[in-house]
Structure 1
């Protein structure tokens, strides 16, 4: 009895795996392509400081990658808020392994398109409203 059901179950599992695999691959490559386009647009933007480009070329040390408190953030200083926002940028850096992603994610006190794209690529969009409130709190002018 079991000798007939085991091969059938293995066949079903194999078919399900093969059907899901192309979709998983397309999601990750699609996210990587979007991030490349965002970063390329930021690099060519005249408003972007040249220091970020120097970091990408390796001429300076990217201290902002490890910086927990951004002096441009004029709102509430709460370590828990910064820690939550910092984890998104750190995870995004670990996903793409590009120092420019880390610095662009933190720019303008986390209120930027790269931060949102990082949340999307990390599959965290169901928590976006919660993180948007945190960004508003740390970036609010006094």
Structure 2
């Protein structure tokens, strides 16, 4: 007879988190790593075209936007301070460079972090991802 901790360990190990998160960051299915996770900029596919894994259970909500703001803010705020103190550029130049950098980095990270959140939920069997096994 197995105890509850062994069962939980086995159920977590059959869906390793880090490979799933890496696939999610690349926009690939966390199950097979081949199919597309997103079919447009932020729309999650209902299921993987290659392996058939259902993604309708995902609950990413505001998580990817929060993570994007957190990462972009922590990268650009110290950089903005360093550039301002060291070089003292014209305020309009400083604004233009950092506004473009903030926008570009945010647009790059948002779909990737949405894939990470969905893949993490899949790997941890959250929100119905583990009910059909």
TM-score (norm 2): 0.29
Q: Report which of the two structures shows the higher radius of gyration computed on alpha carbons.
A: 1
Answer 1 or 2: which has greater helix percent.
1
TM-score (norm 1): 0.28
